[in-house]
Amino acid sequence: MLDPLQQLMLILNGIPSTIAISITSFFIGLFVGLPLSFLRVYGSKSVQIFIDAFEKFFRGVPELVLMFMFFFGFGLYFPFPFKNVFFTANFVLGLRSAANQSQIFRGAIRGVGDEQLVAAMSLGLSKPKSILFVMLPQVVIYSTPGLGSEYALLVKDSAYAYLIGAIEMMAYTDWIRKATLDTVTPYIFSALLYILLTFPIATFLDRWGNLKKKQLGLERR
């Protein structure tokens, strides 16, 4: 029989995997979602339609359905890479995050406004350089509070990876539940750990983003 302290120490073993999935999928979402947001605003009509469909699909289908579809469905036909638990978890959560982050960045682009782009181009910068050197830094600062919330969401959603075999916090939690028949204590510990992994970072990014906007005079009027 595991006492509460032993249960907690066992669940702590799952934190590295939980963090690894969360951070990896966040950066997949960042590197996919950021260019998608600019293409959604400044791209051609056909590109905008494609990105809109991508966002609707990955935002509209539950993560659990996506996990099962890619791992158990596509994994039958493409065992490499979709039968790799961590690849599939990061792939699904990363693309889901890309759809969310694309909308976060798109809202920030509108917040910055096209006037900045027009002004930069009137000074002789090309459109790509105007976006890269003038728009992008401001967009990132505008987006920081939303990105903090997105990271917190990914930490929580990483629990779905347990259902396809990832050994993370929920896996250890369920093992304890099965071994001890304790249906309360391990879940309380997991809930508290998820809070500790999400709220401090989300709160920091929210405050840092708002502070930078004030310092740089980027507050919306």
- Taking the C-alpha atoms of residue 37 and residue 106, their distance in angstroms, rounded to an integer, is 5
CA torsion angle for 24, 25, 28, 33 (degrees, to 10)?
-150
Integer Cα distance of 175 and 115 in angstroms: 56
- Report how far residue 20's alpha carbon sits from residue 166's, in angstroms, rounded to the nearest whole number: 11
Report the C-alpha gap between 57 and 72 in whole angstroms.
19
The predicted structure's pLDDT at residue 209 = 81
Omega cis (within 30) before 4: no
In whole angstroms, what is the distance from residue 138 CA to residue 127 CA? 16
The alpha carbon of residue 30 and the mean position of all alpha carbons in its chain are separated, in whole angstroms, by 8
Domains observed in the chain: 4-215 (1.10.3720.10)
- Report how far residue 96's alpha carbon sits from residue 183's, in angstroms, rounded to the nearest whole number: 31
Alpha-carbon distance of 64 to 42, in angstroms, equals: 33
Q: Is 66:96 a contact under the CB 8 Å cutoff?
A: yes
- In the prediction, which pLDDT does 205 show? 85
Residue 87 and residue 81 in contact, taking contact as beta carbons nearer than 8 Å: yes
Assign 27 to helix, strand or coil.
helix
Six token digits for residue 183: 């249906």
Full pLDDT tens readout for the chain, 221 residues? 788 999 999 999 999 999 999 999 999 999 999 999 999 999 999 999 999 999 999 999 999 999 999 999 999 999 989 999 999 999 999 999 999 999 999 999 988 888 888 888 998 888 889 988 889 988 998 899 899 999 999 999 999 999 999 999 999 999 999 999 999 999 999 999 999 999 898 888 888 888 877 776 766 54
